[in-house]
Structure 1
Amino acid sequence: MTILELVKELDTIQKEYKRQVEDLPRNYVRGSEVFKEAQTQLKNNYEASKIAIKEQIKAQLEVIEAKADYEMEVNKNVDNPTLENITEGYKIIDVITKTAHVLSPATLETLLVKVKDLDQLAVINDVINSTNELDLKKVMKKHLVTLDSYDAERRNTKDLVEQFKHALATSGDGMTFTMLSLATQLSE
């Protein structure tokens, strides 16, 4: 189940609990032992269901957070390139500088993927922008935008998870617009 479905389920069981509490006086004499027992049973069932759904939500959030952390860790080598990455980057800069006038867009894409240092990417960007090759400029721009959006998406995901946790904690188990909105974004 997605987080959105779980939030809707949480809201549904809360509404169902309230309806059942209102129906109790119709089925039992108010104040009797059977009434109190039924009331306690309803509350226990509701609490158990609520806790189970919240645990599922928590598990989903942990998965989303772990995935964002993992992807950030995988992408970390762009922020902290190794010595081998830097050496490889310099070789690629050399190749691009010498062959920029005859380089195909597909080859440039392949080479850019191997560059892990942002400073080296800036140098390559300058070399590509100094050529009159519009196709190469588009490939370079697309690569830089992809890198930037990738990092921003991971940070946004972690921020959404934190906002959702706060909204869930302050919602009083009811579905608020904020919770619904955040759950929708996290489910995507």
Structure 2
Amino acid sequence: MISGTTVKHFAYCPQIVRLEAMGFTERVTEAMREGLEVDREKTVNFLYGVLKPLNIVAKPIFRYNDLVGSPDYVLFFNNYVTPLDIKQGKERIDHVMQILFYLYIMEMKGFNVKEGLLYYVQQGRLKKVRYSFRERNYVARIIDEIRDAMKGKVKVTQPASKCKNCGFFHWCRPKIKGIIAEIE
């Protein structure tokens, strides 16, 4: 099964996806625990007033084939729906990939979607992520790459600093050569 977390992990390092497929789990850090303690009700009340959706549903679960996604919220407007994820810290590409994944599943389930939203609590910043045929094709390619990674068909070369800060480091054991890490 491929989830929003799988997509997020793939964006960080495809090897994580392989390790999870083999049954390994990530070491939970203090920063991860803090990320779960966001005052979501206060944030939603703020966004409700700013975005003015007709309705908001918390933590819905969408399933399509072997894909499953659960954005923090789905906002319902007149002609479309929008997933919203609340994030701590700075903007990162894995956040965008995750919200695009939710949009993809929702579209496959028949929802009219055109954008996703990321709300960065610490900055008080709302980021809109557009969704069209280009993004749909991108997500479809990423899903195929994730399936390959789950089967161990991906070689990874990346900055060693990413590996040293990874919750899977002690299982992965990458070959570190200077500032580069290689994983086969």
Shorter-chain TM-score category? under 0.3
Higher helix share: 1
TM-score (norm 2): 0.24
Higher Cα Rg, which structure = 1
Q: Which structure would you say has the larger RCO, counting Cα contacts within 8 Å and 6 or more residues apart?
A: 1
TM-score (norm 1): 0.24
Higher strand share: 2
